[in-house]
Amino acid sequence: MSASALESEMKRAPRLLAAFGVVARFMFVTALTFLGLLAITFFIGRVVPIDPVVAVVGDRASQEVYDATFIEMGLDRPVMQQFIIYVRDVITGDFGVSLSTGRPVVDDLIRFFPATFEMATFGIVIGVLLGVPMGVIAAAKAGSWIDQIIRVLGLLGYAVPAFWMGLVALAVFYAGLGWTAGPGRIGIFYDGVVPTVTGLLTVDAIIDGNWVILKNALSHLVLPSAILGFFSLAYIARMTRSFMLDQLQQEFVTTARVKGASEWAVVWKHAFYPIRVQLITVIGLSYAVLLEGSVMVEIVFSWPGIGNYLTTALLTADMNAVLGATILIGTVFIVINRTSDVLYHIFDPRSR
């Protein structure tokens, strides 16, 4: 190896070590957070006033059957050993069997989560595409009637209950005007027509080339997604406005105006550019909230998602399903949060 090549390798080594340290730190924090999530769910499963054995065998089972099931479920073992077994089962995808459906919980989660993911994804797209420009315009026109309207819309997004808005939307746009389809994810005559590939009905319809199914699915999807989008829009617009007001008062913005830059350039190039990193975190949290907090919307629209599944499990004391859904939702939060951190480092060199 030549001297120049050796010198190049020596210079590259510290960078590789630094990159490895970042990745190792990222993986460690993620694993530690996930372990904390498992500890919380394990603790919840032990403190809820529900006997897991009675939930399985029923309250009329004999004492012999109760004792045998108690031992079979490993509840006679020390708590720490139970937790280790619990972590092992979760890592291997074993959440037990749902008492409500009679299927493995992991199969139910795979079946129901794509519906929630699809609805929340459309909702966050609506929230971002409308919320960010509204927040920017509100800040640029601070104190004007446009700013007041946008702030009122943001306030409504926080104040109006989701179930009430869903009922009103169904009454107006479905029952009254007939512009959209009603509750459910797909028309009853189209159910099962498209082969399940991804679990996302719109994507599966595109893959299958069935545009009739795609149209019907979008007709069912538009109302619940628009409601979720409105709630995320309220938060995103408010935070964008707050970030922009702070940036518009900075000296570099004043300098740009003095140099004769147009108002469009001042707002969108000089003031908006620095806040895009902050918006990554805001959008990520909003997306996670939509994935987790769409329970009422799913109930109103009879949407077969994870929120509806979790509600049914709670009402029937199906703890396997409750804990499985809780772990899934918590994992989604962890993934989105850690992804936001990575994007933050990518777009903001100062944080590296």
CATH number at residue 286: 1.10.3720.10
Whether residue 83 is found in the same domain as residue 119: no
Whether residue 51 is found in the same domain as residue 26: yes
Q: How many CB atoms lie within 10 A of CB 304?
A: 17
The total number of structural domains in the chain stands at: 2
In three-state secondary structure terms, 157 is: helix
Residues of the chain with pLDDT under 50: 6
Whether residue 208 is found in the same domain as residue 76: no
Q: What is the pLDDT of residue 3?
A: 52
User: Are 124 and 229 spatial neighbours (Cβ–Cβ below 8 Å)?
Assistant: yes
98 within a domain of the structure (yes/no): no
Token pair, residue 50, equals 């529900």
pLDDT tens per residue, range 27-58:
777 778 778 777 887 777 666 666 667 666 66
Helix (H) or strand (E) holding 285: helix 272-292
225 within a domain of the structure (yes/no): yes
Whether residue 125 is found in the same domain as residue 193: yes
136 within a domain of the structure (yes/no): yes
In three-state secondary structure terms, 97 is: strand
pTM beyond 0.95: no
270 within a domain of the structure (yes/no): yes
Whether residue 67 is found in the same domain as residue 116: no
Whether residue 47 is found in the same domain as residue 113: no
Q: What gap in Å lies between CA 212 and CA 216, rounded to an integer?
A: 6
φ, ψ of residue 337 to 5 degrees: the values are -65, -45
Give one word for 208, left, alpha or beta, with left for phi > 0 and alpha for psi -120 to 50: alpha
Whether residue 245 is found in the same domain as residue 298: yes
Q: What is the pLDDT of residue 17?
A: 63
Whether residue 63 is found in the same domain as residue 120: no
Q: How many CB atoms lie within 10 A of CB 305?
A: 25
Q: What is the pLDDT of residue 347?
A: 65
329 within a domain of the structure (yes/no): yes
Domain limits at 17? 3-91
Q: What is the pLDDT of residue 18?
A: 61
In the chain, % helix, strand, coil (3-state, to 5) comes to 80, 0, 20
Q: What is the pLDDT of residue 59?
A: 67
Q: What is the pLDDT of residue 125?
A: 92
Q: What is the pLDDT of residue 299?
A: 86
Please name the residues in contact with 297: beta carbons below 8 A apart, sequence gap of 6 or more: 119, 162, 163, 166, 224, 227, 228, 303, 307
Among 68, 91, 114, residue at a domain's last position: 91
Q: What is the pLDDT of residue 21?
A: 64
Q: What gap in Å lies between CA 256 and CA 250, rounded to an integer?
A: 10
142 within a domain of the structure (yes/no): yes
Among 56, 91, 126, residue at a domain's last position: 91
Whether residue 346 is found in the same domain as residue 224: yes
Whether residue 85 is found in the same domain as residue 111: no
276 within a domain of the structure (yes/no): yes
Whether residue 114 is found in the same domain as residue 263: yes
Rg for the chain (alpha carbons), in Å? Answer: 25
Whether residue 115 is found in the same domain as residue 38: no
Among 91, 115, 132, residue at a domain's last position: 91
82 within a domain of the structure (yes/no): yes
